[in-house]
Structure formats: C-alpha cells, structure tokens
Amino acid sequence: MLNLILSTMTQDRRLPDPGRNKPFSSGGMVLVTGANGQLGLELRRLLSPQTTLFTDLPELDITSAKAVRVLFEEYPIRACINAAAYTAVDKAETESDLATRINVEGPQYLAEACEAFGALMLHISTDFVFDGKANKPYGTNSPVSPLSVYGQTKAEGESRVLHACSRAIVVRTSWLYSQWGSNFVKTMLRLGAERPALGVVSDQHGSPTWARDLAGALMVFLEQELTGEDFGIYHYANAGTTTWHGLASAVMAGAGLPCVVNPIQTAEYPTPARRPAWSVLDTSRIQERFGLPIPRWEDSLKECLTLLLNSE
C-alpha cells in the first residue's frame, strides 16, 4: 500500500503564446506572472491577450529587478497578478535560497515596480503561513507562524509586497488543484486507476480550492474601483472543510474508481517539511466586501473531475 500526502510541486503546461501585441485598453494592461501554472492557465481563460501580458520563464524572470523594471517601462501596466511561486514544499527545505528568490525577492521587485508606476499588485499566497494550531478558521489578521521553509518564504513575501506597494492585495488560498499540471486531485485519479488501495493522511484539515474559482475571484479586484480600505489581505478558498483522506475519497467516488482509501496519520508518513494540521481560512472579508459567492469544495471538485474525465 502506498502512503500519500500532498505534494505541492506543480508542473507547467505550455499553451500557444498569445503574442505580446501592443493594442491595449485606455486603462492599461494586466501583467500575469506564472502564466503557465495552474492558476495562470485559468487566468488565460478570463483575460484577453490583447490587454494582458501572460509571462512565465523565460519571458520574465521576476527574480531580476532589472527585468521587472524594464517590462514596466515598456508597457502601461495597470495591474499585476503574481501567480509565480516556488511551491515544492519538501524541496524548499534544502533549496531555501531558490525559494527565497522566487517567493520573497521576486514579489518584492514586482510590488516596487507597481508602486513606482501606480499599478495594482495582486499577490497569491498560501495557508501554509499558519502553524495549524488553531481550532477555528484563520482570519486575515491572524498572526502567521509557518512551519516550513516554504511557508516562511511565502509569509516574508507577503510582508515585502504589502510594505513595498500601497495598492497591494494579498490573496491567500489553500489546497489548489485544477485540470492542469500536477496536483493532488490528478495524482489521486492516476493512482486510483492503478492500485486497489491507498493510505492518505486524515489528520490534516483544510479546504480544497479549484483554481478556476480562484481565478474568477481575482477578476473582482480588477473590475472594482478600489479605495484605501480595500487593500491588504484576503482569504479565498472553496467553502467547506475536509482532510486529504476526505478529498481522496471524494475523487475516487466522483471518478467511479474502486480504489479503497485508508486513513493514516501524519506521523505514519514523515516528510522533510512539516504541514499545518489545520489550515482552514476565514473567507468572510472577500464575501462581505464584494458580495462574492463561494462554491462548496464538493461541487467544484465534481466540475473539475468532469473536465478531467472527459479530456481523457
């Protein structure tokens, strides 16, 4: 039996380059970094290539302050969505320098450029900034106390962004998955089709979030006339709470796979990086401020599974 836990490493899936045309709206352009990742690919569905710069490596290295500055000088950027991140949670324990460059320095350079050119900064962060010792959903003002190098770099990146840009918004999310790249849901589908039984961690609690829902929520910030009180930290995750075991079981049921999912404890599957046992996010601020409906994780998972199974 194979014991499993979340691996947050995502792999890029290239789409045809939409081209870097220069026709743009009077309001300027939107810059999307990490555009070939899970969230970035969903943002491609929502934003026009005529008014959006979709960038990833090698088009833009966000860890180069010069490269970032040159891009902002060349294009009239009105908003930046930073979906680029180092997300290999366990590898970060031994690659802290690289994780710091991508998760701390890169966001800072983008935020500084946004401040200099009067652009909105939207930075994506994670539930891993918390230590998991709470017994209720973490609020946007809850103190951060990350357990891992990955969490530490994401927490520091948040701080740098908010300090560098007066029009910055940090959006924390959790347990992200999509039909793209490599993620927990797709891993469960693959292993569920290959094996009769799996052991999956049942003592870590959170809210699975479909990247498509998160992308839609980010559009709210681009479409609003934001004032000073609107900036700062928000949480967005699909509604409801489960465990990795619960999510894996839902994947098997939704896909009609006979694989048995057995619950195991975190201690039975040690990893280099520690994960929070509880990372449920309080999403009330984004709901109250923008009247944003948030789908339940079970409903969004069903929609994503339909896309995945129909694409096979």
Distance between CA atoms of residues 310 and 55, nearest Å: 29
pLDDT at position 246, please?
98
Q: Work out the pLDDT band at 224, boundaries 50, 70, 90.
A: confident
**CATH (domain of 88):** 3.40.50.720
What is the residue range of 282's domain?
Answer: 2-310
**Contact of 124 with 8, CB cutoff 8 Å:** no
Give the CA distances from residue 265 to residues 83, 146, 270, in Å, rounded to whole numbers and listed in that order.
Answer: 32, 20, 10
Q: Is the pLDDT of residue 4 over 80?
A: no
Domain count, the chain: 1
Closest residue by Cα to residue 39 from 101, 123, 144: 123
Q: Which of 19-33, 38-52, 64-78 has the lowest mean pLDDT?
A: 19-33
Give the rounded percent of residues in the chain with a pLDDT score beyond 70: 91
Kindly report whether the peptide bond that precedes residue 58 is cis, defined as omega within 30 degrees of 0: yes
Sign of CA dihedral 226, 227, 233, 238: negative
Alpha helical stretches, state H, the chain: 38-46, 65-74, 96-100, 106-117, 149-164, 184-194, 211-223, 244-255, 284-290, 297-310
Q: Average of pLDDT values for 141-162?
A: 97
**Contact of 281 with 144, CB cutoff 8 Å:** no
Whole-prediction pTM: 0.89
The string of pLDDT tens digits covering residues 287-299 is 999 999 999 999 9
pLDDT at position 8, please?
29
The string of pLDDT tens digits covering residues 247-277 is 999 999 999 999 999 999 999 989 999 999 9
Known catalytic residues are 150
